Amino acid sequence: MGCTRLAQEVRQDFPVLQRKVNNHPLVYFDNAATTQKPRQVIEALRHYYETYNANVHRGVHTLAAQATEAYEEAHKAVARFVNAPSWREIVFTRNATESLNLVAYAWGLRRLRPGDRVLTTLMEHHSNLVPWQQITRRVGAHLDFADITEDGRLDLDDLFGKLTEQTRVVTLTLASNVLGTVNPVKEIARKAHEVGAIVVVDAAQAAPHMPIDVQDLGVDFLAVSGHKMMGPTGIGFLWGREELLEDMDPFLYGGEMIHEVWPDRATWNELPWKFEAGTPNIAGGIGLQAAVAYLDRIGMDRVEACERELTAYALEKLLAFPGLTLYGPKDTRDRLGVLSFTLEGIHPHDIASILDLHGVAVRSGSHCAQPLMRRLGIEGTARISLYLYNTPEEVDRAVEALQKVREIFR
Ligand code: C6P
């Protein structure tokens, strides 16, 4: 299997994958929550702190100049990673959550009017739902929801039926953190633009696993978390179309984001600094650049192809498992290796706890997607989520552990 070869190539780069959990070699299948970090990322952080730690955009001394250059280079690397037309369109944030809040507050609060409509989906993570609940409530706009189909895909008829002349924002996830579904964002963006809506994309789950080209997608904003793509925690980014970002007021106010300040007023810095108030997460940005370089070296096409192969293998095993219900597409068409399931009569937390006893780390619960759980009529699922360092043997280990779960609860 090609995925085995890639995993073999990269595994030694991830120190944590060498450890044992409960006397078993760790099988890390919680990659949708956060991924493990390669030595290259850890080393980039260490190198920064040990040799050129300084604040950015403030000092003229050598260390400050080096830190500033590295931090700006990180924006440029991220811009290339998503094929942004300009690196000034990349705003570093803490995570996808903050990126989505930035759009909701800095664009939505000012632009939405009473009676306007924001269209989203029932498969959103709370991060792309709750900010819009708040903003639509504050301005008197409506929040509409596109449903999902029985096989866990987006119901496009429903979505397009709810897209009206009043729709000002279409905001949706590129890939679901529960169902694994990859949504046809390019087609949706085209239709949304026809009615004059902007398109906001939550790419927290998609960006680590597939090539992202914001120009090809034809969207307006795209939110990503660094920690789900091998970067450090506390760093993420928002890509936005330059003319929209230029036209927006800042999200947070203070140092760094200003151009000139008088006692009674201020003017704003140029992009992207206008949206990066205060001392930024410099180390995080540098670590994120190392993560992007790592993924670039492998190639996102290869990452996607290898993960699809492993996902097919895992799907086959899980679908054949007695009493298991899988949520989301049952084949690898337009889906990622996020595999949510329940086992008849067994609580998802019990599944996860017993898997952990066998060294297998999976997530259980509602995955910050409670409206989706309600729609599916369940309280939660267990979730296996794969990444490029995982192997078919690890899938076998998880399935063997699932058999133990069944034996315990029989
Ligand atoms: N999902 C999961 O286990 P943050 O927390 O800001 O880095 O990412 C938020 C987020 C936004 N959108 C999607 C689709 C996501 O999956 C997540 C994070 C994790 O599924 C943690 S809840």
Query: For residue range 292-334, what is the model confidence (pLDDT) as tens digits?
Result: 999 999 999 999 999 999 999 999 999 999 999 999 999 999 9
Query: Of 330, 338, 346, which Cα lies nearest the Cα of 362?
Result: 338
Domain assignment of residue 36, yes or no? no
Over residues 385-395, the mean pLDDT reads 98
SS3 381: strand
Query: What percentage of the chain exceeds 70 in pLDDT?
Result: 100
Domain assignment of residue 35, yes or no? no
Query: Of 363, 367, 357, 364, which Cα lies nearest the Cα of 397?
Result: 357
Pair 126, 100: CB distance under 8 Å: no
SS3 267: strand
Distance of alpha carbon 331 from alpha carbon 316, whole angstroms: 9
Ligand 1 center from residue 263 Cα (angstroms)? 40
Structure tokens given for 404:
């133990």
Ligand 1 center from residue 33 Cα (angstroms)? 6
φ and ψ at 59, to 5 degrees? -100, 160
**Boundaries of domain holding 271:** 43-296
Based on the structure, what is the number of domains in the chain? Answer: 2
- The 3-state secondary structure of 81-130 reads HCCCCCHHHEEEECCHHHHHHHHHHHHHHHHCCCCCEEEEECCCCHHHCH
Q: Are residues 226 and 97 in the same domain?
A: yes
Tokens 């899980």 found at: 318
Ligand 1 center from residue 324 Cα (angstroms)? 25
Confidence band, pLDDT 50/70/90 cuts, at residue 114: very high
**Full-model pTM:** 0.98
Q: Of the candidates 296, 321, 352, which is a domain's last residue?
A: 296
> Is 3 one of the catalytic residues?
no
Q: Are residues 321 and 370 in the same domain?
A: yes
Query: Of 357, 355, 353, 382, which Cα lies nearest the Cα of 367?
Result: 382
Asked if residue 4 has pLDDT above 90, the reply is no
DSSP string, 19-31: -EETTEE-EE-BT
Residues 273-287: pLDDT tens digits?
999 999 999 999 999
Q: Which of 26, 33, 368, 399 is the catalytic position?
A: 368
Task: Give the model's pLDDT for residue 320.
Answer: 98
Note if the bond before 272 is cis, omega within 30 degrees. Answer: yes
Atom 8 in ligand 1: which residue has the minimum CA distance? Answer: 96
Q: Are residues 152 and 219 in the same domain?
A: yes
Q: Are residues 114 and 220 in the same domain?
A: yes
Q: What residues line ligand 1, using a CB cutoff of 6 Å?
A: 32-33, 95-97, 125, 127-128, 173, 177, 202, 204-205, 225, 363, 367-368
Query: Of 280, 232, 217, which Cα lies nearest the Cα of 82?
Result: 217
Pair 53, 70: CB distance under 8 Å: no
Q: Are residues 291 and 202 in the same domain?
A: yes
Asked if residue 58 has pLDDT above 90, the reply is no
Asked if residue 1 has pLDDT above 90, the reply is no
Distance of alpha carbon 328 from alpha carbon 149, whole angstroms: 9
Residues 193-208: pLDDT tens digits?
999 999 999 999 999 9
Q: Which of 100, 127, 227, 386 to mutate to test the pocket of ligand 1 (most atoms within 8 A of CB)?
A: 127
Pair 255, 17: CB distance under 8 Å: no
Q: Of the candidates 247, 270, 296, which is a domain's last residue?
A: 296
Domain assignment of residue 38, yes or no? no
Task: Give the model's pLDDT for residue 410.
Answer: 84
Q: Are residues 168 and 141 in the same domain?
A: yes
Q: Which of 29, 95, 183, 205 to mutate to test the pocket of ligand 1 (most atoms within 8 A of CB)?
A: 205
Task: Give the model's pLDDT for residue 277.
Answer: 98
Query: What percentage of the chain exceeds 90 in pLDDT?
Result: 98
Query: Of 140, 120, 127, which Cα lies nearest the Cα of 101?
Result: 127
